[in-house]
Amino acid sequence: MKKVEIVFIPVPGSGHLVSTLQFAKNLIGRNDTISITILSIPSPFPSSLSSYTNSLVASEPRIQLIDVPQPPEKPPSIESFKSPAKIFSLYIETHLPNIRNIITEIVSSHAKSDSVRVAGIVVDFFCASMIDVAKELHLPSYLFMPSNTGYLSFMLHLPAYHEQNGEVPKDSDPEWLIKGIEIPVPPRVLPVALTDGSYSAYVKLASRFRETKGIIVNTFLELETHAINSFSDDDQTPPLYPVGPVIDLDDGQAHSNLEQAQRDRIITWLDDQPQSSVVFLCFGSMGSFEAEQVKEIAAGLEHSGQRFLWALRMPPPKGKGMMPSDFSNLEEVLPDGFLERTQGKGLICGWAPQVEVLAHEAIGGFVSHCGWNSILESLWHGVPIVTWPMYAEQQLNAFRMVKELGLAIEMRLDYKKGSGEVVGADEIERAVVAVMDMDSEVRKKVKEMGEMTRKAVKDGGSSFASVGRFIEDVIGNNCGSS
């Protein structure tokens, strides 16, 4: 059989990149006629993502990495962050000419050899502008949605909302009735991008989704049965491929010496804790808190009486990007005597190997920002979540996990990073105690969903079948325009 190549265009953000690359890895593991080329757009801010990508490619000979050069014109500055999604989308679009040139060269070289054909282009939803390149080259394009089907439903609903209303939604507006989400959605839990200046960018992105030949979603049928089935009779939307959970169970890469030392310290401490006795607090690659909030978290943890592992990070200086860093002096931000009073019962760290921590038998609960990767990782390991969303679509994720799916404990559903709002110690204490209840209904449901999570990706599972269907469709296409 003739070899086929699939070109992936991910975005340089950890929440998107990790699941995209893992899906690419899954494809070559399922079919030996497939090779993958990843077009690596440079990150607009300092990160370790390039080393993650390089380590994956080095271990997979059928995955090729091509670095996309910076455009001749300077990309828009990412530093202001007044409307992150808008600026990020513009940044991605500046790379379109170089990406067009690279894919054109790939197609041309294969045409000469006639041994391999490009079967399709898979674009992250932030790269929807790249659909035009696929059309120009008469290649099918597929959208990769690193989040869930409920979020996809919201995005598909957005252009129609905009056409009808023409303005940014307000918290005081009526609840949204979104196909794919079983219950009405309060505007206060809609993605932050709608009110931070990125509304027009999201409408523009969402309006392109239906131009693709299919939409790949990092979810699975048993988790989002209603949402996925709601598209079964929708002839306006391309086929859905629920292929999740697509997660990196190896936590990505070989750690630096500093990270390895931190990892060893954390795991050694967890090894000494009783089973299911520790609540883990971790808020993603961009999660951080000011000193006032840190003190409230500390007081809530101490009053809860629970053992804890707390990945605590400080915000970047204003105008210095969006990546947090570790506190250099914890005593400056923690209540007086906190470290002494909680010695042996709690451990504070900066970076933490989240997947490995969630897999540890000592972990009994997870206070999370509700990024979709983190939710899938917690379900995989059967660890119930306390919701503390911050940015992106995390508020919608938190709302659905608590109110629609019954798979999380509510602390906040509408918290927004940078709002100046401080969550009090009493509220934190209540949620931590609730998530550590070994007999709670939420814990039972999460354990059951964890079993379904693992079955979905095994041979005979729903996601296993969906990946197979995608492979058949992408290999079987006749290279017609999408």
Q: CA-CA distance, 403 to 23, in Å (whole number)?
A: 29
What average pLDDT does range 275-286 have in this prediction?
A: 94
Inform me whether the pLDDT recorded for 142 exceeds 70: yes
The model's pTM is 0.94
pLDDT digits (tens, 9 = 90+) for 153-170: 999 999 999 999 988 999
Higher-confidence position of 80 and 397: 397
pLDDT digits (tens, 9 = 90+) for 66-117: 999 998 877 666 655 567 788 888 899 999 999 999 999 999 998 888 789 9
What average pLDDT does range 289-301 have in this prediction?
A: 96
Inform me whether the pLDDT recorded for 479 exceeds 70: no
Q: How far is CA 253 from CA 28, 51, 257, in A?
A: 19, 8, 12
- How far, rounded to the nearest angstrom, does the alpha carbon of residue 196 sit from its chain's CA centroid? 20
The widest CA-to-CA distance across the chain, in whole angstroms, is 71
Residue pair 106/5 in contact (Cβ under 8 Å)? The answer is yes
DSSP character string of 64-121: EEEEPPPPSSPPPPSSS-SSHHHHHHHHHHTTHHHHHHHHHHHHHHHHHH-SEEEEEE
Inform me whether the pLDDT recorded for 363 exceeds 80: yes
What structural domains does the chain harbor? 3-249+456-476 (3.40.50.2000), 258-454 (3.40.50.2000)
Scan for tokens 């209840």, then name that residue.
437
- pLDDT category at 217 given cuts 50, 70, 90 is very high
Q: CA-CA distance, 182 to 10, in Å (whole number)?
A: 30
- pLDDT category at 332 given cuts 50, 70, 90 is confident
Scan for tokens 């906190």, then name that residue.
338
- pLDDT category at 481 given cuts 50, 70, 90 is very low
Inform me whether the pLDDT recorded for 482 exceeds 80: no
pLDDT digits (tens, 9 = 90+) for 40-58: 999 877 666 677 777 777 7
Count how many residues are written for the chain: 482
Q: What single letter denotes the amino acid at residue 71? A: P
Residue pair 247/220 in contact (Cβ under 8 Å)? The answer is no
What average pLDDT does range 267-288 have in this prediction?
A: 95
Q: What is the pLDDT of residue 73?
A: 76
Q: How many helices (H) does the chain have, and how many strands (E)?
A: 17, 15
Q: How far is CA 474 from CA 32, 238, 309, 468, 482, in A?
A: 14, 13, 44, 10, 12
Q: How far is CA 338 from CA 48, 270, 288, 312, 345, in A?
A: 33, 20, 19, 14, 11
Q: CA-CA distance, 470 to 142, in Å (whole number)?
A: 10
| Mean pLDDT rounded to a whole number for the chain | 91
pLDDT digits (tens, 9 = 90+) for 310-329: 999 988 766 555 677 777 78
